Amino acid sequence: MTGTERYTHGYHEVILEFYRRRTAEVCAAFLLPRLEPDAAVLDMGCGPGTITVGLARRARSVVGVDTSAEMVEAARRRAREEDVDNASFELGSAYDLPFEDDSYDVVYAHQLLQHLSDPVRALREARRVLRPGGLVAVRDSDYQTMVHAPVESALKHWLRLYHEVAGANGAEPDAGRFLPGWVRAAGFVDPVVTTSTTTYADAAGRELWGGMWAGRVTDSDFADHAVEGGFAMRGDLVAISAAFRRWADNPSGFWAWLNGEVVAVKPGLSAVVDH
């Protein structure tokens, strides 16, 4: 952690339930075609480990690292429940990885860099633990690209508030668009930049996103940070929560945003000389 950095999302059950729906097939789709079956993978900021376990099924081994002991425990449980024995989990920070130089083939980070006040420092640390020629693969949302219908002023208010709260925590909610620059600044080469969208429009998706925020906006670390920081009154949060509930219950409800994705290479692979 650097300076005033604070993790905006916290670990409320409604948030963890949201993360548990994530899969490697969706969240690492931009990496999977380049993931070799014998790769040693590091998943930085692994959270409850759902994606990590999916990566483990496609690689030789995966280590998940997270600053939260609760997440490390949850991820270990997940791997046991899914009978995945080539995934392990350790407490540690992306700023100071507890691993040797050149020890991984791939370092992956999903929706982590947006929470860091110094994402380039974390990416340099990723470069240190990668072998020359190894891949970094990062994906982050860009909150400013969020669109929704029906349009409600309370939901627009939420987006402004999210930027204020995350900004005060040293985070960058629009990280998706900055990934190419951060990866270059950390010394990676040959970036392949893609985007993918996240859409919630059917009943299950609206419940997942709108139901989560209806609970989270009044009852999570986000709510505390918003009120403590002077960005909102409890009454504002109650109004936003009700708007998310209406949106989730509306069969015409639509929500979407863009995720930035980059796969890039650690330079330094010495040329093979054919004698």
Residues with Cβ < 8 Å from 188, sequence gap 6 or more?
Answer: 123, 127, 136, 264, 265, 266, 267
**Residue of 61, 86, 88, 93 interacting with ligand SAM (CB under 6 A):** 93
Task: Give the nearest distance from C-beta 135 to ligand SAM in angstroms.
Answer: 17
DSSP assignment of the chain, as one string?
--TT---SS---HHHHHHHHT--HHHHTTTTGGG--TT-EEEEET-TTSHHHHHHHTTSSEEEEEES-HHHHHHHHHHHHHTT--SEEEEE-BTTB-SS-TT-EEEEEEES-GGG-S-HHHHHHHHHHHEEEEEEEEEEEEEEEEEEEES--HHHHHHHHHHHHHHHHTT--TTGGGGHHHHHHHTT-EEEEEEEEEEEE-SHHHHIIIIIHHHHHTTSSHHHHHHHHTTS--HHHHHHHHHHHHHHHH-TT-EEEEEEEEEEEE-S--PPPP--
Name residue, tokens 């969240």: 27
**Residue of 16, 42, 51, 74 interacting with ligand SAM (CB under 6 A):** 51
Residues with Cβ < 8 Å from 248, sequence gap 6 or more?
Answer: 206, 207, 209, 210, 211, 214
- Asked if 172 is part of the footprint of ligand SAM (rule: CB under 6 A), the reply reads no
Q: For residues 9, 99, 178 and 3, what is the CA-based torsion angle, rounded to 10 degrees? A: 60
Task: Give the nearest distance from C-beta 24 to ligand SAM in angstroms.
Answer: 10
**Residue of 63, 94, 155, 258 interacting with ligand SAM (CB under 6 A):** 94
**Residue of 67, 103, 195, 196 interacting with ligand SAM (CB under 6 A):** 67
Residues 142-161 that bind ligand SAM (CB under 6 A): none
**Residue of 16, 44, 223, 265 interacting with ligand SAM (CB under 6 A):** 44
Nearer to ligand SAM by Cβ, of 69 and 151: the residue is: 69
Task: Give the nearest distance from C-beta 249 to ligand SAM in angstroms.
Answer: 26
- Asked if 177 is part of the footprint of ligand SAM (rule: CB under 6 A), the reply reads no
**Binding segment for ligand SAM among 77-85, 89-97, 149-157, 255-263 (CB under 6 A)?**
89-97
Residues 105-134 that bind ligand SAM (CB under 6 A): 110-112, 115-116
- Asked if 19 is part of the footprint of ligand SAM (rule: CB under 6 A), the reply reads yes
- Asked if 95 is part of the footprint of ligand SAM (rule: CB under 6 A), the reply reads yes
Nearer to ligand SAM by Cβ, of 112 and 154: the residue is: 112
- Asked if 186 is part of the footprint of ligand SAM (rule: CB under 6 A), the reply reads no
Task: Give the nearest distance from C-beta 260 to ligand SAM in angstroms.
Answer: 14
Task: Give the nearest distance from C-beta 200 to ligand SAM in angstroms.
Answer: 16
**Residue of 24, 53, 62, 71 interacting with ligand SAM (CB under 6 A):** 71
**Residue of 47, 54, 134, 170 interacting with ligand SAM (CB under 6 A):** 47
- Cα–Cα dist 155/252, whole Å: 15
Residues that bind ligand SAM (CB under 6 A): 7, 9, 19, 22, 44-47, 51, 65-68, 71, 93-95, 110-112, 115-116
